[in-house]
Amino acid sequence: MTNGWVDIKNTDMMLIMGGNPAENHPCGFKWAIEAKRNRNAKIISVDPRFTRTSAVADLFCQIRAGSDIAFLGGVINYAIENNRIAHEYLVNFTNAAFAVNNAFKLPGDTDGVFSGFDAGKFTYDRSTWNYAGPGAAVPAGAAPGALPPMPANVDYDLTLQNPNCVFQLLKKHYSRYTPEMVERITGIPKAQFLKAADTYTSIRKDGDMKQVGTVIYAVGWTHHSFGTQIIRTAAMLQLLLGNVGRAGGGVNALRGHSNIQGATDMAGLYDTLPGYLKVPTPADANFDAWMKRATPTSSQPAPWQSWNYYSNTSKFTVSLMKAFYGDAATKQNDWAFDYLPKVDRDYSWTYLWNDMYDGKVKGMLAFGMNGVAIGPDTNKNIDALKKAEWLVVGEIYPDETSEFWRSPRVLAQGDQNQIQTTVYRLPCAGFAEKDGSFSNSARWLLWKNTAVPLPGDCRLDHGIVAQIFLKVRELYNKEGGKFPDPILNLTWAYSEPQNPPLFEVLKEMNGKALADLEDPATKQQIKAGQQLPGFAWLKDDGTTSCGIWIYSGAYTEAGNQTARRDPSDPSGMGVHPGWGWSWPANRRVLYNRASCDVAGKPWDPSRKQVWWNEDSKKWVGNDVPDFKADSPPKDHMGPFIMNAEGVGRIFAPLSAFADGPFPEFYEPIESPLANLLHPERSTNPVVTKFKDTDDKFGTVKDFPIICTTFRLTEHYHYWTKNNPMNVQLVPEPFIEMAAEMADEMGIRGGEKVKVSSARGEYIAKAMVTKRIKSMLIDGKKTYQIGIPFHWGYRGIAEDEGKTARDLANQLTHTATDPNAHTPEFKGFLVKVEKV
Amino acid sequence: MSQETMRIQKMSAHAGAIPGEDTQRTYVVSKLIDTTTCIGCKACEVACMEWNDLPFGETVFDNTYQTMPETRWNYWNLILFNEHEREDGSLQWLMRKNQCMHCADPGCLAACPSDGAIIQYANGIVDFQQANCIGCGYCITGCPFNIPKFNPQTKRVYKCTLCADRVGEGLEPACIKACPTGCLHFGSKDDMKDLAEKRATQLRDHYNFPNAGVYDPAGVGGTGVMYILHDATKPELYGGLPKDPQIPLMVKLWKGPIKWLGNIAMIGGLIGLFIHYLRFGPKDREDQDIREQIALAQEKAAKAAKEKNEEEHP
Amino acid sequence: MSQPDLLLPHGRILRYHFHERLTHWVAAGSFIYLMLTGLAFWSPWLFWLALVFGGPQISRTLHPWAGLVFFFAVSYMYAMWSAQMYSTENDKEWWKNIEHYTKNEDDRMPPVGRYNPGQKLLFWGFVFCGLLLLASGVVLWFPEYIPWNLRLLRYAAVIVHPGAALLSIGLFMIHIYMSVFAERGAFGSVIRGDVSVEFAKRYHPIWYKEVVGDSTNPPK
């Protein structure tokens, strides 16, 4: 989230789309209700189904799953056409005025792809996706295929009239997303769409800048083969309306689990290092080459300034290497650059399972996840596990993954006895059985204490991992090996190596001084060995170590900041500066400089976050200013300090995204019709599909119904089918379908139906409801169904043989988003039959 | 709130005065349920189960998100889910937390024949005292909201206690504590009424609910659980919430006029029969019998005398 | 067409066979229990009655079973006696003169058979009340099984049951009054089974004639 949970109470307008927070985030949703109760805020709910969120929304639009970009693009078009935009914000705080390379072409002009598309390799040469200006040429001697840098000084036109400026390109691009086109693609009737667009953009009626709107989403947006671009569209809309950086605004991702934010922060993905640092690739010859590629250079109109905070990348990275390898990382050995694996290709989830399917991955440690159930195409994953030599599962319940040979299809095939995989199931600790911190969606780190002792033979997950590591290190010590250095030199300075205390891990993440340090400006001193107060102290000379730069400040000499529990909120704006600790630097709303006009005065005096204090010549406020504290407004430093441009990116240049600098609507991989904008280029052009036996894709001829998966308040993933209370609340799996569709098929509520995709089948009882309706997609009547995914073949009712033993992901396919690598769980094709 | 407010001011089937009646200033508590901000998350259902340690029961899928069709003896708090299409074609998914309404004038208490099985505290909470319950189920009939539920094993009736045990210690009921959206409120009845009216006004003025209003039905003297409804003119849409709930007429008749007429008739009958006896006595008076016997004896004696006379004077 | 088997020595006539007397007392016993426990639930002022019978829970548990016993007893009575309970032409005359009956001027009453119209009314009253009490009692026995949309049944039951009970209590009081206080010998008849010739002649002259048949053969 750019903002935070509590901050939602400050909003006037909520577009909740690709998420169902009332269902999945009921506790956080209180703030949406607060906004309604105290500010008369409105909620617009856009969803394939009328959800619990829709139940408290002021306007509901039923959208075809996967057509979100068409809707959002339509809203952008509406905002521009009706002048519902934040003009001053747009010109000064975004790249709207930046001129773009003349060679850049929009998909409207080039058959549905952006300029630079290689139709053979399904990739883009992104060199034209750049700003215009001096210095934007590929430097001599760069690696072949290297992208040019952004121009140091960007050409610009503050009147926004230049036909090649970002704003004009944006306008041109989305002028194709007319209300009529939106209706044909999304199935939302034109009048209803216009009502939604009018309601949302009404906050900028007549140029008013006081009101704020927020966009709230979750995995309903990420689970698509163009998920990242949906979020991009929302971000652009928010920039256009001047909603980013402001209390009650922003683009707010609601994370599905209590600590998913922490998992991403800590590099749960293969292509980042902790703190979103870029991983080295084989093309990076040494540490400096890596840093050169990873560190952006500032790029903005000549009279403006850009802080370009990522220019500090080497400080973050060297400190990280010192945290990893301690004294073994020295300037002489390139900060142990050679110890790091070099990422040569896509190692994301579906690729890992595919590698196991292909026999390349021999074993798996599965902790804190039920891999067979949560990934797409369950049957493929099970087939992959059949080929693995070993599987270690650490779980709190016997789950589907650790008993993958009991899946309905394996039972049907009867080849259980041929499976040779050795499975070790280790009882692990539940969240209440260990301490540690959660990083929530609002980027708040909140320490928790152990609530109950470990039952039986359970062990802490990280203790198990630590003991495996120590054993491996012992083997390397004894037997040597090809490259023992990264293992033998890994820092492991915990008071209890077998079970590292988590507060020590947090201290390590925060970072410490390795030598006596002094801030030249304030003369503040830090002794060697002391905890760092924040990432501003990080150095790239080896005198600091820090496990994740954005968490620096979480555990200082003052103690564990994440354990703070001061509920006071002096501003009344839900900042709660003494409650836990949020990254970065305990800042609650990111880019909050943008909450002020160019002169540094808050857009809305009743919601003052930060402001320029002319007397002290400093940015001050109720929140920690996300800005260079002493940069006066007249210097025109951009508020988006993490971008090299200093401004918000309506146009995302160069390598930012794999599939285009502007989001374009593409159909889901399995879709009932060809893309109405460009039928020949229907789906995301850079998405590729696996071609194994299990990777089958269906067409509308055989599978006419659109299917989406979802979650229920009453259940938590695949856990709570083991809890009698939750089982009582919702005892059985079901399939939500429109009453009209059920009537046509002669299905009554509670009767069993079979849903089949090209991959597999799913049988459950029908939930016949008015909350899903038929829709006209390009004039053709189309139905959608929804499947809550919480059941499987282990659980209270499952063990008693009372419910279907299918996993919903038997239906889903493995095509993923090219940027985030998230599979397309939502909006695939199925057929429905009465059993 | 102290335990003082747990003094009893109404008691079922109690002869004579109620020990706590009018012995203190009343401080009536109330729940306020804002159905317009309920998201049907069922946290209240779980909190109720947890606080009251209610045993789990079995449920079956019934084409709804609703946990079960109606409350059970071991499930006192149930959110009712109802789909409703408004006249403009838009859909409403109405969610209403259903539980005991804690009526000021409770039908259960009126119907209960067992001394002290149902009591109403000075703070308005209507509570079942299972030790005194005889399991007759009249409360089930007396309730206009279908709340009290019978446990066939213990042969006692159970329902929401408004967490009297918590409230007595100054805590809010468990459901209120658990509600994540703040759709549930708890406080003095006056405060809650005030809050409810404000919210209803807001819904009328700023949202598309011209008929928004507060449900605090006068027919049962007002309730200790009030609702804010999107459309207060149609409470039936919320899972059959009665528009004008009353203690059932038959129960009122039975506990009112019929009872007095019956008493008068029975006592009157007894007195009447007694007076009749005083006036007329038995049909076959004892003295009549004796007279008959005497007459018979005299007749016999006369006959004997006559025979003797005939013998003597043939 | 006399019924000589009913003629007993010492000027007695058998009015009730053993099985009739037994049935009567089963009905009477269950009725008294039902009435007293019922009254306990009728009024708080009589709740102590339930305590006398072992406590209110036990009373609540046994009351419906006693009700079944009463109903079966009444049903058996119906089987035994209903044929004799139908109204006759003569009865209308009797009702016209009811005032004399209440004033103990029995000699001014038209002669009646085994049962006078008042007794017949009592019988039908109990049969009628028995049916009503059973029907409403079953609903009250298992109110939890009456679904909400059939709740009218429960509402009907709570009014019918006490209503029928009151009616039957009224009949009961008259019955006791008549049998114990007004017509002495009647109480004995349902204990020992017989009545005196005088009793039969006085209260049930037609029945007496039926029993005796030809007046040439009077009972001894």
Q: What is the pLDDT of residues C169-196, one digit of tens each?
A: 999 999 999 988 888 888 888 999 988 8
Could you tell me if C98 lies within 8 Å of chain B, comparing CB atoms? no
The per-residue pLDDT for C111 is: 86
Which residues of chain B neighbour A729 with C-beta distances below 8 Å? Answer: 42, 45-46, 59, 67
CA–CA gap between residue C177 and residue A27 (Å, rounded): 73
Distance (Å) from the C-alpha of residue B173 to the closest C-alpha of chain C? 27
Nearest to C11 by CA among C185, C191, C183, C187: C185
Cβ(C158)–Cβ(B258) below 8 Å:
no
What number is the average pLDDT over the span A151-179? 96
Residue A389 has pLDDT above 50, yes or no: yes
Residue A332 has pLDDT above 70, yes or no: yes
Share of chain A above pLDDT 90, in %: 92
Helix (H) or strand (E) holding B66: none
A55 vs B85: CB contact, 8 Å cut-off?
A: no
Secondary structure of B107-124 as H, E, C letters = HHHHHCCCCCCEEEECCC
B137 vs C144: CB contact, 8 Å cut-off?
A: yes
A729 vs B42: CB contact, 8 Å cut-off?
A: yes
Could you tell me if B251 lies within 8 Å of chain A, comparing CB atoms? no
What number of other Cβ atoms are within 10 A of residue B188's Cβ?
15
The per-residue pLDDT for B289 is: 58
The per-residue pLDDT for B305 is: 78
Distance (Å) from the C-alpha of residue C92 to the closest C-alpha of chain B? 21
Which residues of chain B neighbour A23 with C-beta distances below 8 Å? Answer: 39, 41
Number of B–C residue contacts, CB under 8 Å = 126
Nearest to B53 by CA among B142, B131, B158, B134: B158
Give me the residue spans of the domains in chain A: 6-256+646-656, 349-485, 679-834
Which residues of chain A neighbour B94 with C-beta distances below 8 Å? Answer: 55
CA–CA gap between residue A33 and residue A56 (Å, rounded): 9
The per-residue pLDDT for B300 is: 77
Rounded to 5 degrees, what angle do the CA atoms B37, A243, A202 make?
65
Q: Which CATH number fits domain A349-485: 3.90.1300.10, 3.40.50.740, 3.40.50.300, 3.30.479.30?
A: 3.40.50.740
pLDDT (tens digit per residue) in A461-481: 999 999 999 999 999 999 998
Question: What percent of chain B is helix, strand and coil (3-state, nearest 5)?
Answer: 35, 20, 45
The per-residue pLDDT for C1 is: 55
C155 vs B262: CB contact, 8 Å cut-off?
A: no
What number is the average pLDDT over the span B3-12? 78
Which residues of chain A neighbour B178 with C-beta distances below 8 Å? Answer: none
Nearest to C47 among B115, B138, B248 (CB): B115
Nearest to A29 among B50, B85, B180 (CB): B180
Give the chains touching A; criterion: ≥3 Cβ pairs < 8 Å.
B
Residue A194 has pLDDT above 80, yes or no: yes
The per-residue pLDDT for C220 is: 45
Helix (H) or strand (E) holding B139: helix B138-142
Could you tell me if C169 lies within 8 Å of chain B, comparing CB atoms? yes
The per-residue pLDDT for B1 is: 37
Q: Fold for B3-247, please state it.
A: Alpha-Beta Plaits (3.30.70)
CATH 2.40.40.20 fits A679-834, yes or no: yes
The DSSP code sequence of A80-116 is HHTT-S-HHHHHHHBGGGBBB-TT---TTTTTTS-TT
Q: Locate A46 and state its tokens.
A: 């856009």
CA–CA gap between residue C174 and residue C119 (Å, rounded): 10
B62 vs A766: CB contact, 8 Å cut-off?
A: no
CA–CA gap between residue B134 and residue A306 (Å, rounded): 80
Radius of gyration of chain B (CA): 32
CA–CA gap between residue B93 and residue B95 (Å, rounded): 6
Distance (Å) from the C-alpha of residue B33 to the closest C-alpha of chain C? 24
Question: Which chain B residue lies closest to C180 (C-alpha atoms)?
Answer: B282
Nearest to C45 among B15, B282, B284 (CB): B15
For testing contact with chain A, the best of B32, B41, B59 (most A CBs within 10 A)? B41
Which residues of chain B neighbour C99 with C-beta distances below 8 Å? Answer: none
Residue A46 has pLDDT above 90, yes or no: yes
Distance (Å) from the C-alpha of residue B43 to the closest C-alpha of chain C? 26
For testing contact with chain B, the best of C45, C62, C144 (most B CBs within 10 A)? C144
Could you tell me if B41 lies within 8 Å of chain A, comparing CB atoms? yes
Could you tell me if A729 lies within 8 Å of chain B, comparing CB atoms? yes
Nearest to B283 among C44, C50, C182 (CB): C182
A56 vs B37: CB contact, 8 Å cut-off?
A: yes
**Residues present in chain A in total:** 835
Could you tell me if C181 lies within 8 Å of chain B, comparing CB atoms? yes
Could you tell me if C147 lies within 8 Å of chain B, comparing CB atoms? no
pLDDT (tens digit per residue) in B178-188: 999 999 999 99
B40 vs A771: CB contact, 8 Å cut-off?
A: no
B39 vs A22: CB contact, 8 Å cut-off?
A: yes
The pLDDT profile of chain C, 220 residues, written as one tens digit per residue, is: 577 788 887 788 899 999 999 999 999 999 999 999 999 999 999 999 999 999 999 999 999 999 999 999 999 999 999 998 998 888 888 999 889 888 888 878 888 888 999 999 999 999 999 999 999 999 999 998 999 999 999 999 999 999 999 999 999 999 999 988 888 888 888 999 988 888 888 888 888 888 887 655 554 4
The per-residue pLDDT for A169 is: 97
CA–CA gap between residue A436 and residue A431 (Å, rounded): 9
Across chain A, mean pLDDT equals 95
Cis check: omega of the bond before B257, within 30 degrees of 0? no
B140 vs C170: CB contact, 8 Å cut-off?
A: no
The per-residue pLDDT for A688 is: 86
What number of other Cβ atoms are within 10 A of residue A182's Cβ?
29
Distance (Å) from the C-alpha of residue C43 to the closest C-alpha of chain B? 7
CA–CA gap between residue C165 and residue B313 (Å, rounded): 71
Question: Which chain B residue lies closest to A726 (C-alpha atoms)?
Answer: B46
Nearest to C185 among B146, B259, B284 (CB): B284
Which residues of chain C neighbour B283 with C-beta distances below 8 Å? Answer: 104, 106, 182-184, 202-203
ipTM of the complex: 0.93
Could you tell me if B64 lies within 8 Å of chain A, comparing CB atoms? yes
Nearest to B248 among C143, C155, C199 (CB): C155
Nearest to B180 among A26, A54, A725 (CB): A26
Higher-confidence residue of B17 and B25: namely B17
Q: From the CB coordinates, do chains A and C have 3 or more pairs under 8 Å?
A: no
Phi/psi of residue B246, each to 5°?
-135, 155
Phi-psi region of A763 (alpha: psi -120 to 50; beta: other; left: phi over 0): beta
Distance (Å) from the C-alpha of residue B190 to the closest C-alpha of chain C? 32
CA–CA gap between residue A196 and residue A60 (Å, rounded): 8
The DSSP code sequence of A662-730 is S----B-SS-SS--SS-GGG-B-TT-----STT-----TTT--EEEEEE--TT--TTTGGG-HHHHHHS
For testing contact with chain B, the best of A50, A728, A767 (most B CBs within 10 A)? A728
CA–CA gap between residue B38 and residue A619 (Å, rounded): 41
B64 vs A767: CB contact, 8 Å cut-off?
A: yes
Q: Locate A380 and state its tokens.
A: 């493929």
Mark B46-61 as b/e (b = at least 16 C-beta within 10 Å): bbbbebbebeeeebeb
CATH architecture of C4-212: Up-down Bundle (1.20)
Could you tell me if B88 lies within 8 Å of chain A, comparing CB atoms? no
What number is the average pLDDT over the span A187-211? 96
Residue B281 has pLDDT above 90, yes or no: no
Q: Locate A319 and state its tokens.
A: 């400190």
Nearest to A282 by CA among A324, A337, A329: A337
Distance (Å) from the C-alpha of residue A727 to the closest C-alpha of chain B? 8
Which residues of chain B neighbour A29 with C-beta distances below 8 Å? Answer: 39, 180-181
pLDDT (tens digit per residue) in A678-735: 999 999 999 989 988 888 999 999 999 999 999 999 999 999 999 999 999 999 999 9
The per-residue pLDDT for A359 is: 94
The per-residue pLDDT for C216 is: 52
A55 vs B92: CB contact, 8 Å cut-off?
A: yes
B281 vs C143: CB contact, 8 Å cut-off?
A: no
Which residues 114-143 of chain C have a CB within 8 Å of chain B?
140, 142-143
Q: Fold for A6-256+646-656, please state it.
A: Dimethylsulfoxide Reductase; domain 2 (3.40.228)
- Per-residue CA distances from A146 to A48, A655, B126 (Å): 41, 10, 77
Question: Which chain B residue lies closest to C151 (C-alpha atoms)?
Answer: B141
Residue B84 has pLDDT above 50, yes or no: yes
Helix (H) or strand (E) holding C113: none
What number of other Cβ atoms are within 10 A of residue C128's Cβ?
15
B136 vs C41: CB contact, 8 Å cut-off?
A: yes
Determine whether A587 is exposed, middle or buried from the number of CB atoms within 10 Å of its CB (0-12, 13-18, 19+): buried
Q: Which of the four pLDDT bands, split at 50, 70 and 90, describes residue B51?
A: very high
